[in-house]
Amino acid sequence: MSKPEVVFSSLVANMDDWANRTHIPLTTADALGTTYARAHRWLQALKLQLVRDYHWEEMPPQDPRILFSVQVSSMWRASVNLPPGPSAKLQLPVHAASFFSPERRVQWQMVFHSDIFANVRKVCPPVNDIFNLIQCLLTGLVTIEYDEELPQGTYKTTRGLPPASWVTMNEAALVDIFGQARFKALRKACSDPATSFKLEIIHQRR
């Protein structure tokens, strides 16, 4: 099995595919933006946790389109007599539409394909919460993918939603953002591997 990797994709067709899979219809851009705006308070609280409890540093806002920008020194120590790796930077936009801007695609790829979401997420609960919340807000925008070699061929598994246990644990905050009906649909989708995961055949052996 290959190492799981986080993949950022701003393709609307990809999100539409996940909407059909999860049975949670893809709403309008305005509606997605409104829901994302309702999540600002939780996202800001998670940022404060990073600064207060995990020694992240808040960076002065230089772009009004950025909701927040924080960084942390590399967790991984380099070899003897070499400095540690570069600081990791986490940014999120004020408006969900920024994720779909072609000029900013590389910017968001650098955030989500970084060590923050590949590894730091596994040992830093607020980062994991941010990732899971974005999966709920914009399902298909960020996924976790891994390939597996089986006797029948090579299979790719993609996880588009967080674990059901996380959704249940954060019910009150999610209901506040999505409303009761959408929350129930989300919890149902997260609880079913057939809707929260996608399995594709990359290469089939004959």
pLDDT digits (tens, 9 = 90+) for 130-150: 999 999 999 999 999 998 877
Considering the chain, what percentage of its residues have pLDDT values greater than 90? 76
pLDDT tops 70 at residue 18: yes
pLDDT confidence of residue 144: 96
Distance of CA 166 to the CA centre of its chain: 14
Mean pLDDT on 157-171: 97
- Range list of β-strands (E), the chain: 5-8, 57-58, 66-72, 88-93, 142-150, 153-159, 197-204
| CA gap 131, 167 in Å, rounded | 12
pLDDT confidence of residue 79: 47
pLDDT confidence of residue 80: 53
pLDDT tops 80 at residue 6: yes
Q: What angle do CA 71, 74, 80 make, to 5 degrees?
A: 155
Q: How does residue 74 score in pLDDT terms, banded at 50, 70 and 90? A: confident
What does residue 167 show for φ and ψ, rounded to 5 degrees?
A: -65, -45
Q: How does residue 41 score in pLDDT terms, banded at 50, 70 and 90? A: very high
pLDDT tops 60 at residue 81: no
pLDDT confidence of residue 83: 55
- In terms of C-beta distances under 8 Å and separation of at least 24 residues, what long-range contacts does 172-179 make, across chains too? 173/42, 174/136, 176/38, 177/35, 177/38, 177/39, 177/42, 177/137, 178/35, 178/136
Mean pLDDT on 94-121: 95
Q: How many CB atoms lie within 10 A of CB 205?
A: 9
Each domain of the chain, given as residue ranges in start order, spans 5-204
Q: How many CB atoms lie within 10 A of CB 3?
A: 7
What does residue 158 show for φ and ψ, rounded to 5 degrees?
A: -120, 130
pTM of the entire predicted model:
0.91
Mean pLDDT on 68-89: 71
And the tokens for 165?
């246990």
